């Protein structure tokens, strides 16, 4: 074989090899998806789901309302129609959407239409937000299973996914923060204030009473 033909063959073989490697990498790329839910206090939902294997991040924010870029004060004031929500980014090769939805229903009180635990009002209602017909089908199936398991009516709606607005940095990873804040009990680290709030609000106690051993984030 002539030298030029040999070089061409080597180059072609190299390109084929690179193509195989690239295809292998793309075929094994992580299947990253998002799920948006509202479960009352978004600090609590974020704290729960960031513990789940396969979840890469949970971001606190707002969705479902009629005001662009709402502030926390606007939303909790009850005049924007928004839910306190959390956008969960997950690797679907590690944990699937249905499993996350099942966990969500069992981490809240889906029989309560007026809020969650000590937090009352429209911004604290529960909901699952679906971005497609397929996602809605999965959500409705998870809802039906939750109702069957409880033997009660589940009022958590499945809504169309709209714009999700992340909350400001003050509210992100609140449960982990060492920042010092002033509370009604005096100065506390955010993490300590979060724990005190969650205990006082009765979230885990109610979830435990409702779901028992099926509650994924609290002991029986």
- Give pLDDT tens digits for 114-150: 999 999 999 999 999 999 999 999 999 999 999 999 9
81's tokens: 């129609």
Report the alpha-carbon distance of residue 26 to residue 22 in Å, rounded. 6
pLDDT at position 28: 58
| Alpha helix positions (H), 110-179 | 133-150
pLDDT at position 61: 98
Q: What is the mean pLDDT of the chain?
A: 90
Using an 8 Å Cβ cutoff, are 91 and 54 in contact?
Answer: yes
pTM comes to 0.86
Q: Is 41 a catalytic residue?
A: yes
Report the alpha-carbon distance of residue 59 to residue 48 in Å, rounded. 12
| Per-residue pLDDT at 23 exceeds 90 | no
Report the alpha-carbon distance of residue 82 to residue 69 in Å, rounded. 11
pLDDT at position 123: 97
Q: What is the mean pLDDT of residues 77-104?
A: 97
Exposed/middle/buried for residue 50 (C-beta within 10 Å: 0-12, 13-18, 19+): middle
Active-site residue, selected from the candidate residues 41, 44, 118, 201: 41
| Per-residue pLDDT at 12 exceeds 60 | no
């Amino acid at each position: 074989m002539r030298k030029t033909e040999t070089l061409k063959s080597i180059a072609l073989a190299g390109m084929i090899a690179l193509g195989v490697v690239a295809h292998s990498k793309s075929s094994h790329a992580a299947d990253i998806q998002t799920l948006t839910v509202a479960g009352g206090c978004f600090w609590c939902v974020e704290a729960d789901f960031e513990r789940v294997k396969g979840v890469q991040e949970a971001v606190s924010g707002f969705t479902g309302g009629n005001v662009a870029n709402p502030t926390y004060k606007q939303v909790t004031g009850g005049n924007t129609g928004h839910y306190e929500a959390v956008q969960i980014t997950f690797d679907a090769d590690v944990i699937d959407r249905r499993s996350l939805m099942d966990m969500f229903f069992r981490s809240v009180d889906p029989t309560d239409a007026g809020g969650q635990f000590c937090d009352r009002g429209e911004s604290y209602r529960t909901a699952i937000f679906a971005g497609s017909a397929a996602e809605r089908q999965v959500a409705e199936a998870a809802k039906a299973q939750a109702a069957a398991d409880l033997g009660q009516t589940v009022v958590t709606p499945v809504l169309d996914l709209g714009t999700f607005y992340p909350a400001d940095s003050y509210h992100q990873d609140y449960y982990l923060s060492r920042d010092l804040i002033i509370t009604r009990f005096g100065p506390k680290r955010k993490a300590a204030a979060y724990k005190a709030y969650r205990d006082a609000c009765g979230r885990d106690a109610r979830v435990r009473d409702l779901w028992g051993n099926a509650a994924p984030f609290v002991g029986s």
